[in-house]
Amino acid sequence: MGEDDDKKSFWTTMPGILMGIAAVMTAIAGLYATVYLHGGGPSVPTPIPTPTPVTGPIIMGIPLSLGWKAEGPASVGEEYKDGIMALDISSHPELGDSNYAQLCLDMTRTRRFPELERKPDGTYNLAKAEIIGAVRSDQNFKGDSNNPNIAYFTLSNKTDNLFGQQVEITDVMRSSAGMELFFEVPDDRTYKDISRICLTFAFSNNKIYNGSINVLNVTIRK
C-alpha cells in the first residue's frame, strides 16, 4: 500500500503533472507524423492556373450598305442591291490621266467602327492593317499588255491620297469569286488618321470601257 500511495502522490505533484503533459504531447506529435507525413491525412488539391486569354487579330467587314459613293471622271453612279455594291463606269480615252472611277466611303460620316482606334476628329488609325476586297464583273475590263487597266485601294488622310498595291485587271475578275485587291498598310504615322477608303479603277487611254464592276466585300484585319 505504501508504494501505491507514493506513486499517486508523485503524479499529483508539479513534476508529475509536467511529465504527464509531456507524454501526451509526445503521443500527439507521433500521431501527426504517422498520419500526415506518411500520406494518411486529407490531400490538399493543387490549384489549377487560370489560362491567360489570347487576343486574336481584329477581322472586321465594312458593310457595303453604309453609303459608298461613286467618284471620278469615269464613274457614272453606284447601286447597292442584295449585299453587293455596283460601280457604273463609262471610260473614254479623252479623259487622259483622269480616266478612272472609284467607289469611296467617308469613314468620318458613317457609323463608328468600335473595333478600330478612332481619333477625336473621327479619323481612324489603320497603320499595320490589311485591307482586302473582292470585285467582279460580267463585262471585260481587261486592258492589253502595253496598257493594262489596274485596280487598287486608296486611303485618304487630311492632306494626302495614299495608294495601295496595284493589281492588273485580268479575266479573273469575270470568275464567280472575282478578283482580290489587297493593301498591306505600312506602320507609318501618315496612316494613323485615315478619313476615307476607296476602291479605285484606272483605265488605259486607248479603249472605251462601259459597264459595272461589283464590289463583293471589303474587310480590314488588324
| pLDDT tens digits along 85-119 | 999 999 988 888 889 999 999 999 998 899 999 99
Rounded to the nearest 10°, the torsion over CA 4, 8, 11, 12 is -160
pLDDT tens per residue, range 152-167: 999 999 899 999 999 9
Q: How far apart are CA 214 and CA 175, in angstroms?
A: 12
Residues 43 and 68 in one domain: no
Cell for 114? Answer: 468600335
Q: Write the DSSP symbol of residue 120.
A: T
Residues 177 and 128 in one domain: yes
Residues 8 and 97 in one domain: no
pLDDT tens per residue, range 47-70: 666 665 555 678 889 999 999 999
Q: Look at the pTM and tell me if it is higher than 0.75.
A: no
Helix-strand-coil percent breakdown of the chain, rounded to 5?
Answer: 20, 35, 45
Q: What is the mean pLDDT of residues 206-213?
A: 91
Give the pLDDT of residue 58: 82
Residues 63 and 45 in one domain: no
Residues 4 and 37 in one domain: yes
Residues 82 and 42 in one domain: no
Give the pLDDT of residue 194: 97
Residues 177 and 72 in one domain: yes
Residues 91 and 46 in one domain: no
Q: How far apart are CA 161 and CA 15, in angstroms?
A: 100
Domains: count for the chain: 2
Structural domain of 155: 59-221
